Amino acid sequence: MRYSGRRVGSSRHPCPVDTIRTIAWMKEQARQARAESRIVGLVPTMGALHAGHLSLIERARRECSPVIASIFINPKQFGPNEDFSKYPRTFQSDSEKLRHAGVDALFAPEPSEIYPNGFSTYVNVDGLSDKLEGRSRPGHFRGVTTVVMKLLQIVQPNFAYFGRKDAQQSRLITQMARDLNLDTEIVVCPPVREPDGLALSSRNVYLNADERKAATVLYRALEAAKNELAAGVRDALQLQSSLRRKLDSERLARVDYAEVVDAETFEPVVRVNKPCLVLLAVFIGKTRLIDNFYIGPKSSSSEELVFHF
């Protein structure tokens, strides 16, 4: 594992990023880095990398050396009727992107390495895991927290980076790290968007041309809610009905949920007078997309709200 991000090799025959397939070797490499008092950063992914993932790597590179990315399409976080078998598998181009992004090592274990025969221990964040995404995707978060716990246990990074597009996932992982006294600091980074506002997601590749146009309705609905908040609306039901109206106006959209929740508990709020999240889950055709924005006070001494997309 090299730490500078510099690689030997020509542009025609670039060196692949250092790929680690086994837990034993990953542990040994991370242990050596820690023994040299290096700040280890981990960016867990399921591959199909886009600019959102690369922004996590960029942030990790500013704060850590070495930076390790993982690619593991975690079967345990997909429900029986979800897209595990058709989830985009783009290992070669992902590996190339990681090399360009200056990642020091890629941890890409096989499922049998992570879940050997007889595997039977799961991590679950009670309560939070059952709401919203958890209600629509039973068992999903148990799969996420189990695999993330394993990755954190294997690499024992100082920092691990997650995107706030998956707001509930990041909140759960932060809670898990706190509850289990992990030494890793969880860093949550803002989503990256297309110029028309669509949040980057590995699932955007499922959208056909009409659906891709329709998918901007999530951002348009969030923008409309933000404008109402900026105009002084604080009633959560009013905000939710305007989100619904906007989303329902798009023929290809079917709303799963559109809610304003407390940013800590993910419980619905009546009025927006504390840090909140506006959360959307919407089917565009067969593709389920999520998006959100965060509402918080401008500063600890201010009542003015700011919106983080």
Question: 200 or 260, CB closer to ligand PAF?
Answer: 200
HEC letters along the chain: CCCCCCCCECCCCECCCCEECCHHHHHHHHHHHHHCCCECEEEEECCCCCHHHHHHHHHHHHHCECEEEEECCCHHHCCCCCCCCCCCCCHHHHHHHHHHCCCCEEECCCHHHHCCCCCCCCCCCCCHHHCCHHHHCCCHHHHHHHHHHHHHHHHCCCEEEEECCCHHHHHHHHHHHHHCCCCCEEEEECCCECCCCCECCHHHHHCCHHHHHHCCHHHHHHHHHHHHHHCCCCEHHHHHHHHHHHHHCCCCEEEEEEEEEECCCCCECCECCCCEEEEEEEEECCEEEEEEEEEEECCCCCCCEEEEC
In the list 45, 175, 184, 204, the residue contacting ligand PAF (rule: CB under 6 A) is 45
In the list 49, 67, 144, 282, the residue contacting ligand PAF (rule: CB under 6 A) is 144
Segment contacting ligand PAF (CB under 6 A): 44-52, 106-114, 243-251, 253-261?
Answer: 44-52
Q: Does 199 bind ligand PAF (CB under 6 A)?
A: no
In the list 30, 49, 106, 148, the residue contacting ligand PAF (rule: CB under 6 A) is 148
Q: Does 166 bind ligand PAF (CB under 6 A)?
A: yes
Asked about 308 being catalytic, the answer comes back as: no
Q: How many residues bind ligand PAF (CB under 6 A)?
A: 10
CA 53 to chain centre: 8
Question: 45 or 156, CB closer to ligand PAF?
Answer: 45
Q: How far is the CB of 144 from ligand PAF (least distance, A)?
A: 5
Question: 75 or 197, CB closer to ligand PAF?
Answer: 75
Contact 164, 292 (CB under 8 A): yes
Q: Does 225 bind ligand PAF (CB under 6 A)?
A: no
Question: 30 or 43, CB closer to ligand PAF?
Answer: 43
Q: Does 74 bind ligand PAF (CB under 6 A)?
A: yes
Q: How far is the CB of 76 from ligand PAF (least distance, A)?
A: 9
Strand pairing category for 159-163 and 185-189: parallel
Nearest Cα neighbor of 255 from 266, 245, 265 is: 245
Segment contacting ligand PAF (CB under 6 A): 19-27, 143-151, 237-245, 258-266?
Answer: 143-151
Catalytic residue (one of 53, 100, 140, 308) = 53
Question: 132 or 147, CB closer to ligand PAF?
Answer: 147
Q: How far is the CB of 45 from ligand PAF (least distance, A)?
A: 5
Q: Does 145 bind ligand PAF (CB under 6 A)?
A: no
CA atoms of 274 and 127, how far apart (whole Å): 21
Segment contacting ligand PAF (CB under 6 A): 13-21, 38-46, 235-243, 262-270?
Answer: 38-46
| Interface residues toward ligand PAF, by CB under 6 A | 44-46, 74, 77, 144, 147-148, 166, 169
Catalytic residues: 53
